[in-house]
A = this chain, B = another copy of it.
């Protein structure tokens, strides 16, 4: 049973997306409040909230569930205000770190921390979508004092939005995010600033960089307003991940100094196994995946010609990427299909369109 009345405190991208998703599943009333009147107005206009409250207290009054979706920096204060405004509702949040917040809350029975893991490159209710949480992990951090009925309500609500609720201890959550999200994000910045600061005989490394640097730094430089708070809020766990990272870098330096090919082989082999584990989540049968590559010109209609041909033959595209090189030179299109037969059929179709096709196993075991 979804709650009858949901209050959203903070109606930016995440808050407004929760509102849209909640209305889509038929939740009766969503009340919103945001310190930024424009954001609140826009959320109402887009139908993410049925009513724009005049104050935080007004929004909370009568709600069964309150979701606090303000920036990490003001979360503690806002959650405290929400808990003070009414003793009835179950309260949760959507912040990217959980330890500090959950530790600071006195009412541990009815506050349960939360964190939907979804793309955050956009901001504001204008980019909100009812489908933002579709298939996303949504961490929940119940503690010993959590009232079971409240956890059940929150768990059911999150699942009804299309997300996959995963219960985790608040401190463990932050440790996990340090390794899987905050460390990679920090390394993207580090490596890009490193490459950007080097001048090699007048050559600008960023101008000659290949695809691997581009892939690895996709998130570099993103959203300082969000990321400064996340880094500082999870500083302790992130520092310990960075220190461990340095130790691992030193191991590699030692192996290189010793010319230890065996160490390198084991290290690359371990990475191959880990990569496979990472991809097993996403694909039916990773081992069967074949990569079909063609070079395409940069003009409208090229992609549709290709996807249409594959679609007409019922070839399912597991993954699809266009690496755009330049307007003059075009780009490389990479399509993943499952099985060698599918790959052969795809290659034949593309060759019939005049493309020169390269097929290879997407992930090789060795």
Contact = CB atoms under 8 A, between A and B. Distances in A.
Interface of A: 117, 119, 121-123, 127-132, 134-135, 137, 166, 168-169, 172, 175-176, 179-181, 183-196, 198, 200-201, 203-225, 227-228, 231-232, 235, 238-239, 241-246, 248-250, 252-253, 256-257, 259, 261, 264-265, 267-279, 281-284, 291, 293-295, 298-312, 314-330, 332, 336, 356-360, 364, 366
Contact of A180 (B166, B213, B274, B315): B213
Nearest to A254: B239
Given A203-B168, A221-B271, A224-B268, A213 B278 contact: yes
A212 B188 contact: yes
Contacts of A186: 252
Quickly give the copy total for this chain. 2
A268 B189 CA distance: 7
Contacts of A356: 129-131
A221 B268 contact: yes
B206 A232 contact: no
Given A192-B278, A206-B278, A303-B320, A224 B360 contact: no
25 contacts: A122-B291, A127-B358, A129-B357, A131-B295, A135-B326, A168-B200, A168-B201, A180-B210, A180-B213, A184-B212, A186-B252, A187-B191, A193-B248, A212-B218, A221-B271, A221-B274, A224-B272, A243-B253, A249-B249, A281-B326, A282-B324, A307-B308, A318-B324, A320-B320, A320-B322
